[in-house]
Amino acid sequence: MSDDYDDEDIILGDLPDDELVEQMQDDLYDGLKEEVIEGTEILLERGWAADKVLTEALVGGMTIVGIDFRDGILFVPEVLSSANAMKGGMEVLRPLLSASDGARAGKMVIGTVKGDIHDIGKNLVKMMMEGAGFEVIDLGINQSVEEYFAALEEHKPDILGMSALLTTTMPYMKVVIDEMVSQGIREDYIVLVGGAPLNEEFGEAVGADAYCRDAASAVDIAKEQVALKRAS
């Protein structure tokens, strides 16, 4: 037991709840997946409800990651590493959460539009949204109107998210939204758009509910929009 004096060897099970939650947030920030999984399991063993573990430990930790990402303190590789650690905790919680869907912040279908095969931004949004307690169905890249509609029909989400990285594929977002209007389903969904060449004016011009500058702002906007929709 020569490691007794090693500061790194924090025994998670020995920490009281509040310190354990803080430590889990640090571990999440540092992308330590195994430790996040262990902390999640310990809190559940202590009788914490799955949604409480999700909101206080995991979402709490990812909120800090999101703020530092937005402020340029963290970069994409670190965020992906944190999101991967979050995923570890989510895998433990998911079966328990689906039993009590109250924990869900909302549901989103997301995909990169037809003709576009870029997905790093979309993947980041997915991870940050999951980190905020949303259920996210990721359709992948190169999605046509038909594929988006099939997913809306199947999953009945609150939000449709569309991403594009090419100026040539951006207009396809309008094609999807116009088709939603003509089929009379536009009002049923919150439509969020994002991607490097887009801006707020473009989002308004194509008829989206909002343009999301980055993954962190996508989460904030999604929460606001879902709250408005539920209030109405």
pLDDT digits (tens, 9 = 90+) for 121-166: 898 898 888 878 899 999 999 999 999 999 999 999 999 999 999 9
Q: What DSSP assignment string belongs to 142-210?
A: EE-HHHHHHHHHHH--SEEEEE--STTTTTHHHHHHHHHHHTT-GGGSEEEEE-TT--HHHHHHHT-SE
Specify the DSSP element, H or E, that contains 140. Answer: strand 134-143
Instruction: In whole angstroms, give the CA distance from residue 116 to residue 125.
Output: 17
Domain endpoint, select from 59, 80, 103: 103
Which amino acid belongs to residue 175? Answer: V
Domain endpoint, select from 39, 68, 103: 103
Domain identity same for 118 and 99: no
Q: 159-213, pLDDT tens digit by residue?
A: 999 999 999 999 999 999 999 999 999 999 999 999 989 999 999 999 999 999 9
Q: 60-114, pLDDT tens digit by residue?
A: 898 898 889 888 999 989 988 998 999 899 899 888 876 555 557 899 999 999 9
Q: Position of tokens 């999640």?
A: 40
Domain identity same for 151 and 184: yes
Range of the domain at 29: 12-103
Number of structural domains (the chain) is: 2
What's the whole-model pTM score? 0.72
